[in-house]
A and B are shown apart, each in its own frame.
Chain A
């Protein structure tokens, strides 16, 4: 008898919601392939990280309560972002250190929350994807996913199974791209220089595609690469793994330009 389907609540993230729904749909498709039924609670907005990293604890807690309420009933919470995933998994409990009841709920949620790619491989045991992508890709390890959640080999393992794709490692792949959430708003000049250094590293690999698992970093790196006139296609790794790269132009590229 097959196992009962696993009920996953998808935490879409505000940047995917606003900028790149394709990533959300790629996540839904991959989770389906991994034997999960996916629901998207309508009461979610943001994980609260902008407020948290700005020292605004009251608003962060209000948002965290909202997320905990919305996702409490699921077997797992899956997030197509290491940054937002890390916020829920690593930081919600810190917020409620003085409120035992909420702390328990936060802890319960943290235990069941995963970044998308690590969930597919580490929890669901996904070994291979059925995807095709023509190109030489390089991969940037977004900081929170890497250092808070240990996402490193999981995307590489699945990318290795994508037909037509060659992965070329990015020197300095673990160095921050300069996005930093509120950092890029508060210190845009420093952020821009860090993005420029990252873009130079990316260009030197000779890859025609840049992949990563976090929309913030992707918007930052894509924005710098297009400003520099680099013809490097930037995508969230889930789009490739879900074999959905044909459905949406790369980040920062218009549909008409993509057709040319």
Chain B
């Protein structure tokens, strides 16, 4: 997809005026954080788990080549195949080649953010292969021709009335008078439709939450069981993963799984945790005919050894966006590409370029909530600041803003001059605002005063008063 991150401000403006979106965001705000807090309150060792999880991922990132090679050896030993792709194009073509070789007409898909990142659905469709999303949220946005607004809850920007409407428009062979007001009826309808698709699909594509080096297995977690059907009923199972999904052992994956569901949905564990190891063996009753793991780099290996390396610890739980006050105000689509919220603000500039996504690391109040809930303790605000430094160095931030900053810094580094100007400013503004105590509009602060007053200064600067009191000998 074409990113629209450069239009973040306009996207946000539209989002603020979108009543359905605001209603959906209010529900989210009330939901995820409370659920996470409740489940973590029941696990006293959660902080310790975070440290363990962080250590596992740091160790992997220090030894990534070793574990990737071990993973490949073990996949091959069990009859599978690993594909290394540097770019989205290579990954798309790799998937397409497998589908073509097997004569696939329909592929079912479990939820995969890598598939979104490489825009796989469009590529398959353009080449005559029908992709069917089987995760309920992904299915909804697929029939609506949208992209995910959240990495674990792709349709969270919608209210159920909108979903009912889309179902009526798409499932035209069903009784138009049927009731679709309640969520369970929507789920049942989608389930009925998808069941037929599972049975007729040729290839199943899923993501991978973890790739286990010691066994060559991939792991996915779902709450709908759709992933299992996607991967066991087909001629081939293709798991899409990015390089940093690797973990050394199943034991390590267990540690991370304990962090993942709690951080993501506030569940102790996801309903389904599926481990996939190789294709169907002769003695197996079911399973895919072939097993492929497609690894995507897309700039991630270049993050190693840089100030952005810690971002590769991310396990895609979505806690940062669930708790982000900016995300909760504008929703995920405002961010303009597949990864929204704080983790997107760090990752998107890496993947699509800071020229395109320069707004995202700036659109944070640095309130620090994201870092405080991140199970992997990724210093998200710090990394957003690193992007701001790069933007400043390259003069990508708006010229008026940069000049304003330089103007201010000129005074801030000259205390005596600053004192004079601040004292004068306090007096002037204090005098102007004396009658009301605040301003309804103020030159150069139109953005602020559009919807807020600007409180007026008291009228004298602290330093001038302090100096005066010192002179009068009244100081403390």
Contacts and interface: CB of A to CB of B under 8 A. Distances in A.
B409 to A, nearest CB: 4
Contacts of B406: 59
Contact of A251 (B330, B455, B461): B455
B258 interface: no
Q: List 6 tightest A-B contacts by C-beta distance, closest first.
A: A180-B365, A188-B447, A55-B392, A254-B437, A55-B388, A252-B455
Contacts of A174: 369
Interface string A224-252: 10110000000000000000000011011
Interface of B: 9, 12-13, 16, 325-326, 329-330, 362-369, 371-372, 382, 385, 387-393, 397, 401, 405-406, 408-409, 411-413, 415, 418-419, 422, 425-426, 433-438, 440, 447-448, 450-458, 460-463, 465-467, 476
A239 B391 CA distance: 40
Contacts of B330: 190
Contact of B462 (A16, A43, A179, A251): A16
Given A188-B448, A192-B451, A226-B453, A21 B458 contact: yes
Nearest to A184: B448
Contact of A143 (B329, B369, B385, B460): B369
Nearest to B455: A252
A181 B366 contact: yes
B456 A227 contact: no
A248 to B, nearest CB: 6
Interface in A161-186: 174-176, 178-181, 183-186
A52 B419 contact: no
A189 interface: yes
A119 B389 CA distance: 32
Interface in A81-137: 94
B458 A22 contact: yes
Nearest to A219: B455
Contacts of B460: 21
B455 A222 contact: yes
18 contacts: A18-B425, A20-B457, A25-B462, A40-B463, A55-B385, A56-B392, A63-B409, A94-B382, A144-B366, A176-B365, A180-B367, A184-B447, A187-B12, A187-B362, A188-B447, A189-B13, A224-B453, A226-B438
Contact of A227 (B16, B365, B451): B451
Nearest to A199: B452
Contact of B412 (A12, A48, A181): A48
Contacts of A54: 388, 392, 397, 401, 405
Interface in A31-74: 31-32, 37-38, 40, 42-46, 48, 50-57, 59, 62-63, 66
B449 to A, nearest CB: 8
A241 to B, nearest CB: 16
Nearest to B381: A53
A226 B461 contact: no
A176 B370 CA distance: 12
A42 B388 contact: no
B372 A55 contact: no
A1 interface: no
A28 interface: yes
A219 B447 CA distance: 14
B448 A42 contact: no
B426 to A, nearest CB: 5
A194 interface: yes
